[in-house]
Structures are given as C-alpha cells and as structure tokens.
Amino acid sequence: MVRHVIGNWKMNLGERESERLAASVLAGIGPAVRGLSVAVCPTYVSIPAVRRVTEGTVLGLGAQDVSSEAKGAHTGEVSMRMLTDFGVKYVLVGHSERRADNGETDAMVAAKLRAVMRSLAMPVLCLGETRAELKAGKRDRVIERHLTTALKGVKPKRSERLVVAYEPIWAIGTGLVCDPEEAEKAHAHIRKVASKLLGKEWSRNNLAVIYGGSVNAKNVGGFVARQGIDGVLVGGASLKAGEFSRIVREFVRGGERS
Ligand code: PGA
C-alpha cells in the first residue's frame, strides 16, 4: 500500500512564496522514495508556478478544492479538467474549513468526489468529528454519516483509488493532536465502513486512510508506527520546508523498517 504525505497550504502563500517553498521542499525531501507519495496543495492561482518547479520530480501537485460541475455558468469555480491540465494529481474534497466557511454539505462533497473520481486524479475525502461530537461519544457515527453520504452509489473501477483523511475538527490548527491510538481506532472504523460500501477487496488494494490535525515533525513518529495509518495531511507544518521534509523523512524511515 502506497503511503501519502500531503501538505495543505490553504490560503497562505502567493505565487513567488509558493514557488520558493516548493523548491525548498524538493531540496529537503531528496530523491524518490518507493511506497511513499508526497504532494503539496497550493491555492488555485499558485498551481501553475508550483507546477513549473515540481513537474517531473518526486513532489506531486494537489488542489484544495474543485467544482462538482464539468463546465458552464459557475462563476468563480474551477473544474476538474482545468486542474488536470495543470498536472494536479490529488484533490482535497470536503475539508472541514470548506464545510464551515462555504456551507459545503455532505451532498455537495459527494458530488465533488464523483467529479474527481471521473478524472485521473486522486480524491482526498476529508472528514472528522467536532469536539462536542467526540465528547458525546459520536465519533464513529459521524464517520459513518460522512462516508455513507459521500460514497453511496459509488462503484469504483479497479484502477481508481481513494484517500480518506481522518481530520478531527478539534485537532485542526489547534496544536491539539489526536492520540495516535485513538486515530488508529478511527481509521479502523473508516476501513470497515468503506469496505462495506466499496467492497472488501477494492478497499484493501485501493483505499488509503491518512490522519490530519496538528501534525508536526515532533509528533509524526507516533503515527508512522501505527497500523492502518497510511500517511498524513499536514496544514501549518507544511508551510515550513524543513518541518515538512522532516515529516516526509519520518515516513521514509518508517517504510524502511516495515
Ligand atoms: P493543521 O491542518 O495541520 O494546521 O492542523 C490540517 C488540515 O487542515 O488539513
């Protein structure tokens, strides 16, 4: 199973800064690593600049969002084909910030997921519970709700792949990282539910479950060692080349040990 380390730069960097950061990350992560896929997701307008630096390298390119529509009168939107034209390989869908700031519902997320699945890019479906839901013991139910709505009726082809990012909302940007043991349990639940919806064999071969929420170079070791944690989605710490490269190297070492 390929593991994934993905940086989500959110709305933080302009064109030149993005270009520079991509170049520094490339220098920091070194040569290709078998079994590990590394990517960064700049804001839409910086994608062309980052592509100039990353094309043909081990650093993949991702996008933070996409329209569910193929084309037409959708002011301000960007279609999947426009992204693939720029070599985008990963697309985040359903990030909790988009659900909160832009009112994205599970149904909208499901439509976006289908748009990405129809392309050659890899969807990264983000989901996770709020602090209140966690306290009320509803984590697994929230996971089920998100997955069921997003994946209902999806019949993936053998060649298609999916990344689910377990991102507890209370851990995003807060410095409160999820206990790796708890993350492992949540990931196991995600696998169980996804296997029911997409088939056991398909899920075993084509589904990766990664963790996101306040991951940094210091705490990532706890996730690398865990069963069923197939990578990480990194926000704040991905804005520093040294920090992000150290996270990647932890996964490289983890891969060599296993
Ligand atoms: P964070 O963000 O690493 O800054 O918590 C993670 C994310 O939003 O994907």
Q: Is the shortest distance between the CB of 8 and ligand 1 below 6 Å?
A: yes
In percent, the amount of the chain with pLDDT more than 70 equals 99
The pLDDT assigned to 258 comes to 67
Q: Is the shortest distance between the CB of 172 and ligand 1 below 6 Å?
A: yes
In the numeric block, the tokens 């929420």 are attached to 213
Q: What's the CA-to-centroid distance between 239 and ligand 1, angstroms?
A: 11
User: Residue 46 in contact with residue 88, Cβ under 8 Å?
Assistant: no
Q: Is the pLDDT of residue 192 over 90?
A: yes
Q: Is the pLDDT of residue 32 over 80?
A: no
The larger pLDDT score, comparing residue 36 to residue 32, is at 36
Distance CA 132, CA 238 (A): 27
Contacts of 89 (CB under 8 A, 6+ apart): 39, 60, 61, 62, 121, 122
- Residue with the smallest CA separation from ligand 1 atom 9 is 235
Encode pLDDT of 104-158 as tens digits. Answer: 999 999 999 999 998 989 999 999 999 999 999 999 999 999 999 999 888 888 8
The pLDDT assigned to 248 comes to 96
By the 10 Å C-beta count (0-12 exposed, 13-18 middle, 19+ buried), 82 is classed as middle
- Residue with the smallest CA separation from ligand 1 atom 3 is 235
CA 61 to chain centre: 12
Q: What's the Cα-to-Cα distance from 191 to each of 24, 147, 197, 204, 228, rounded to whole Å? A: 35, 10, 10, 8, 9
The pLDDT assigned to 254 comes to 86
Q: Is the pLDDT of residue 256 over 80?
A: no
The pLDDT assigned to 21 comes to 98
Q: How many CB atoms lie within 10 A of CB 11?
A: 9
Size (the chain), residues? 258
Q: Is the pLDDT of residue 255 over 80?
A: no
Task: Give the CA count within 13 Å in the CB-facing half-sphere of 145.
Answer: 10
Span 228-244, average pLDDT: 97
DSSP state of 153: T
Q: What's the chain's Rg over C-alpha atoms?
A: 17
User: Residue 78 in contact with residue 66, Cβ under 8 Å?
Assistant: yes
Distance CA 152, CA 109 (A): 12
The pLDDT assigned to 78 comes to 98
The pLDDT assigned to 158 comes to 87
Best residue among 91, 125, 167, 232 to mutate for probing ligand 1's pocket (most ligand atoms within 8 Å of CB) is: 167
Q: Tell me the one-letter amino acid at 35.
A: G
Encode pLDDT of 159-180 as tens digits. Answer: 899 999 999 999 999 999 999 9
Encode pLDDT of 75-100 as tens digits. Answer: 999 999 999 999 999 999 999 999 99
Q: What's the CA-to-centroid distance between 167 and ligand 1, angstroms?
A: 8
The pLDDT assigned to 75 comes to 98
Indicate the average pLDDT of the chain.
Answer: 95
* β-pair type (231-234, 207-212): parallel
Q: Is the pLDDT of residue 46 over 90?
A: yes
